């Protein structure tokens, strides 16, 4: 190579290096986030939107940006929110420039204010929470794909929409969580459908048997009904919770043989009593069910359907009774009514003290509820030893039972069946990385290979990932019937199953429930109440000392809240108090002696915060003046210092016209103790955390006056005795 060419080569290479470095400089200086900040500056200044609209070409836009930069003297700069407590740095605000700017609530992404009031300084001040704790993503990144966790391994892919609610339970310990409707719905669905029977979901939802026991099924129903049911539960009862398990006809046959082979002598013994009941009994039973027993508050049955809402929107609390006569033998219905806790340990069904003709009428009514399936009527099905299936058939049935995971939801009563969870643990499923998901033989586009898509597809058709394997499909999850929003809610809940933790100072405590003060009364009260509560299954709906259901108000502090005479009348013949209640208190048909015992026990359940040491509320002339002042406050909402504290009459009425959102207070004086009303007005949520009534922070005087007004129509009584007659 001659020297000249050598010099040229060196020169050319020098230029190449220069070109590469210039290219690097160019990529470095042209970052998308700078564009967002310039665009935002152009949009928000006074005269600029018009100029911006005029600048249609990229070049004109660039010139406009340059002019703005010059005018503002402000260069685009990286911005970040550092949250050292969480070990997080969020540079999201470099592009999402306006998350805390209220002026741009209606702009489009990313020039938009954060939706809703989640970032309100009272709830989630941005400098304390940052972005990542709820949204995931890679906070240090400054290009969109990386920041959204789409190309960075190890980052949580960004969550938006309802899936953000998966993060709420990291801090919030209260259930349900305020302002996390999708998560709450998902949790309710997961609980109701018994997901934790097959899957470990961590301590939030410990495993629970959601189905009825399978033991004694031969005495409860017929083989024909079981066969129909196992083929497709929803075809028999469209709103059932039982998922469909694809079973071969052979499998159904041996399963039915196994299940109907199990009989219960106690139920069979009741059999003959109900074989032929008078026809008018059914009509009488219907009246009883619709009125006194309030069956329709929880059940649908033909001719009485109500919109449901508990625990899940659109759902009823208990199963649809249509076709109950096809399924249930009259003897079993009788056994259920006699002791619901024994027949259906997982249902919230109360026990009624029904006897004699009332009991027979109700059974006649229920046994007469037939469906269009045209199944042979149950009843009079004595165990026939000749029909007993052979051992091989039973063994086959047991195999199917165990393989399909029936014991995850049902007590089988079969000592040989295993009660193990057949599904994998989902306790940390929200931490799964996209590449850890096993899609099996399913075809998934690369953009869909993330956890949420997996959940949605799995919930829609659980065995689709091994369709190629046909009969030997190792996936055993049955098919549930979730709607689109329900699937998304369940996915939201599953995303929240994670080992990620937050520092203790971020934890929101469970709302201080009523557990705290009941124990101060003494162990003896729940102790004396316990047999009664369990006999009538009060705790299926009411909680006491933190134990029990959430369908109805807690019983804690009842002794210092309600007047005993009123409560006694109420229990004998309940009538709804609160407007908009879906499940009302049924008439339990309590025997007088039991009623007395309950009165004594409930009276002892006191709340120490409701003190007897309060100013006399009624009876004196001075109180009449107070009551008049209270009436003004009730109607106008103007407090003693002239400030508006809240118009009670907007929701309540007391003799005079008023709102209907809260209970009618006209006869509250007969129901409530004045001390409790006084304490309630002062303490609000602190006394009853679950109430829908807002706290008004009333002064002692205001509380006294309002209480005086509520009790103004009550005859005088001696101070200090409270409401206890």
Partner 1 sequence: MNTITPTPDRPRSAYRNFYHHLHPLRIRRDSLRPAATFGLGLIAVSLVIIIVLTGLLLMFHYVPSTDPTAGAYASMQDLRWIVPFGRLVRAMHRWAAHFLVLVVVLHLASVFLRGAFQVPRRTNWLCGLGLLLLVLAESFTGYLLPWDQLAYWATVVASNIAGAVPLLGGWLRQVLLGGSDVSQVTLVRFYALHVFALPLLMFILLAIHLWRVRIDGGLAHRSENGVSVYPSPLGEGAAPAAGEGLRPRTPEPHPPTRLSEDSSLPTWPHLVLREAAIFLACLAVVAAAALFFDAPLGEPANPAHAPEPAKAAWYFLGLQELVSYDYGPLSRLHWPPWNSAGPVLGPEFWGGVLLPFLLFTALCAVPYLRAKPCGIGIYFALGRRWSCIIFLAALLTIAALTFVGYFLRGPNWILTWTW
Under rule CB under 8 A, which residues in 410-449 are in contact with partner 1? Answer: 433
Rounded to an integer, what distance in angstroms lies between the CA atom of residue 65 and that of residue 637?
A: 54
Query: Which of 51, 112, 128, 140 forms a contact with partner 1 (CB under 8 A)?
Result: 140
Q: Does 54 contact partner 1 by CB under 8 A?
A: no
Q: Does 470 bind partner 1 (CB under 8 A)?
A: no
Q: Least distance in Å: CB of 27 to partner 1?
A: 7
- Residue 143 binding partner 1, by CB under 8 A: yes
Q: Pick the stretch among 95-103, 142-150, 442-450, 545-553 that binds partner 1 (CB under 8 A).
A: 142-150
Q: Residue 23 or residue 383: which is nearer to partner 1 going by CB?
A: 23
Q: How many residues does the chain have?
A: 725
Distance CA 79, CA 551 (A): 48
The single residue listed with the structure tokens 């979901």 is 201
78 touches partner 1 (CB under 8 A): yes
Least Cβ distance, residue 498 to partner 1 (angstroms): 14
Is 498 a binding residue for partner 1 by CB under 8 A? The answer is no
Q: How far is the CB of 16 from partner 1 (least distance, A)?
A: 5
Residue whose C-alpha is closest to residue 287's, from 301, 268, 269, 277: 301
Shortest CB 145 distance to partner 1, Å: 12
The residue from 122, 153, 265, 374 that contacts partner 1 (CB under 8 A) is 153
Q: Does 71 bind partner 1 (CB under 8 A)?
A: no
Residue 429 DSSP SS3: helix
Residue 22 is a binding residue for partner 1 (CB under 8 A) = no
* Number of Cβ atoms within 10 Å of the Cβ of 300: 18
Three-class secondary structure of residue 83 per DSSP = strand
Using an 8 Å Cβ cutoff, are 304 and 296 in contact?
A: yes
Q: Give the shortest CB-635-to-partner 1 separation in angstroms.
A: 58
CA distance 199 to 420: 10
Among 32, 49, 87, 115, binds partner 1 (CB under 8 A): 87
**Distance (Å, rounded) from C-alpha 344 to C-alpha 330?**
16
- Residue 142 is a binding residue for partner 1 (CB under 8 A): yes
How far apart (Å, rounded) are the C-alpha atoms in residues 261 and 225? 14
3-state secondary structure of 338: helix
Determine, following the binding rule CB under 8 A, whether residue 21 of this chain makes contact with partner 1: yes
The interface with partner 1 within residues 337-376 (CB under 8 A) comprises none
Interface with partner 1, residue 17, by CB under 8 A: yes
**704 near 678, Cβ under 8 Å?**
yes
Cα-based distances in Å from 461 to 24, 243, 336, 394, 482: 49, 11, 35, 30, 10
| Cis, bond preceding 623 (omega within 30 deg of 0) | no
| Residue 50 CB neighbour total at 10 angstroms | 9
Asked if residues 83 and 129 have their Cβ atoms less than 8 Å apart, the reply is yes
Using the rule CB under 8 A, which residue among 61, 91, 488, 682 binds partner 1?
A: 91
Q: Is residue 387 a contact point for partner 1 (CB under 8 A)? A: no
Would you call 5 helix, strand, or coil by DSSP?
Answer: helix
Looking at the Cβ atoms of 63 and 425, the one nearer to partner 1 is 425
Question: Between residue 562 and residue 591, which ones bind partner 1 under the rule CB under 8 A?
Answer: none
Closest CA to 179 of 170, 189, 171, 168: 168
Partnered with residue 543 across adjacent β-strands are: 548
C-beta of 467: minimal distance to partner 1 in Å? 23
| Residue 203, CA atoms < 13 Å, CB-side half-sphere | 3
User: Which among 147-155, 506-514, 523-531, 680-688 is the span making contact with partner 1, rule CB under 8 A?
Assistant: 147-155
Total residues at interface with partner 1 (CB under 8 A) = 32
Complex with partner 1: residue 249 or 499, whichever CB lies closer: 499
Closest approach of Cβ 429 to partner 1, in Å?
A: 15
Interface residues with partner 1 (CB under 8 A)?
3, 6-7, 9-10, 13-14, 16-17, 20-21, 23-24, 27-28, 78, 84, 87-89, 91, 138, 140-143, 146, 152-155, 433
């Amino acid at each position: 190579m001659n020297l000249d060419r050598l010099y040229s080569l060196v020169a050319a290479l020098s230029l190449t290096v220069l070109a590469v470095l210039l290219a690097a400089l160019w990529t470095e200086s042209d970052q998308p986030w700078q564009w967002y900040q310039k665009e935002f500056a152009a949009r928000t200044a006074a005269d600029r939107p018009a100029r911006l609209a005029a600048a249609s070409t990229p070049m004109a836009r660039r010139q406009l940006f340059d002019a703005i930069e010059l005018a503002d003297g402000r260069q685009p700069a990286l911005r970040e929110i550092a949250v050292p407590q969480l070990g997080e740095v969020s540079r999201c605000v470099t592009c999402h420039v306006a998350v805390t700017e209220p002026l741009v609530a209606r702009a489009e992404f990313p020039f938009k204010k954060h939706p809703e009031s989640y970032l309100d300084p009272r709830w989630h001040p941005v400098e304390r929470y940052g972005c990542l704790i709820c949204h995931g993503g890679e906070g240090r990144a400054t290009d969109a794909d990386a920041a959204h966790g789409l190309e960075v391994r190890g980052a949580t892919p960004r969550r938006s929409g309802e899936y953000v609610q998966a993060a709420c339970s990291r801090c919030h310990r209260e259930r349900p969580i305020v302002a996390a409707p999708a998560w709450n719905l998902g949790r309710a669905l997961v609980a109701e459908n018994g997901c934790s029977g097959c899957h470990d979901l961590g301590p939030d939802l410990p495993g629970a048997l959601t189905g009825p026991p399978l033991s004694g099924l031969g005495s409860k129903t017929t083989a024909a009904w079981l066969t129909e049911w196992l083929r497709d539960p929803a075809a028999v009862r469209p709103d059932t919770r039982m998922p469909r398990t694809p079973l071969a006809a052979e499998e159904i046959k041996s399963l039915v043989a196994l299940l109907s082979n199990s009989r219960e002598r106690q139920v069979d013994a009741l059999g003959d009593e109900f074989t032929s009941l008078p026809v008018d009994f059914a009509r009488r039973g219907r009246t009883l069910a619709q009125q006194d027993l309030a069956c329709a508050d929880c059940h649908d049955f033909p001719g009485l359907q109500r919109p449901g809402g508990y625990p899940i929107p659109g759902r009823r609390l208990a199963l649809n009774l249509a076709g109950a006569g096809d399924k249930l033998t009259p003897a079993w219905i009788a056994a259920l009514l006699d002791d619901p806790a024994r027949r259906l340990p997982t249902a919230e069904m109360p026990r009624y003290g029904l006897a004699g003709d009332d009991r027979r009428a109700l059974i006649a009514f229920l046994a007469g509820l037939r469906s269009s399936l045209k199944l042979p009527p149950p009843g009079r099905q004595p165990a026939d030893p000749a029909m007993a299936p052979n051992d091989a058939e039973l063994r086959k049935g047991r195999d199917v039972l165990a393989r399909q995971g029936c014991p995850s939801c049902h007590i089988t009563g079969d000592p040989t069946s295993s009660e193990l969870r057949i599904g994998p643990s989902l306790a940390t499923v929200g931490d799964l990385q996209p590449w850890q998901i096993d899609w099996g033989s399913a075809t998934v586009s690369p953009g869909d290979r993330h956890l949420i898509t997996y959940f949605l597809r799995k919930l829609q058709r659980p065995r689709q990932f091994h369709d190629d394997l046909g009969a030997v499909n190792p996936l055993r999850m049955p098919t549930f019937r979730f709607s689109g929003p329900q699937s998304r809610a369940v996915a939201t809940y599953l995303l929240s199953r994670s080992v990620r933790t937050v520092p203790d100072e971020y934890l929101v405590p469970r709302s201080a429930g009523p557990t705290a003060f009941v124990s101060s009364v003494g162990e003896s009260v729940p102790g004396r109440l316990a047999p009664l509560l369990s006999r009538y299954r009060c705790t299926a709906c009411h909680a006491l000392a933190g134990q029990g259901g959430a369908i109805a108000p807690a019983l804690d502090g009842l002794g210092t809240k309600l007047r005993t005479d009123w409560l006694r009348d109420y229990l004998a013949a309940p009538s709804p108090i609160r407007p908009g209640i879906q499940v009302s208190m049924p008439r339990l048909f309590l025997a007088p002696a039991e009623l007395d015992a309950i009165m004594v026990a409930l009276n002892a359940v006191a709340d120490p915060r409701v003190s007897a040491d309060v100013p006399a509320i009624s009876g004196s002339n001075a109180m009449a003046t107070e009551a008049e002042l209270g009436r003004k406050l009730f109607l106008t909402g103007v407090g003693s210092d002239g400030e508006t504290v809240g118009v009670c009459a907007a929701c309540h009425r007391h003799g005079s016209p008023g709102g209907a959102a809260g209970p009618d207070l006209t006869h509250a004086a007969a129901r409530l103790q004045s001390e409790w009303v006084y304490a309630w007005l002062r303490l609000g949520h602190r006394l009853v955390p679950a109430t829908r009534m807002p706290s008004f922070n009333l002064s002692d005087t205001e509380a006294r006056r309002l209480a005086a007004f509520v009790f103004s129509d009550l005859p005088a009584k001696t101070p200090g005795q409270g409401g206890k007659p």
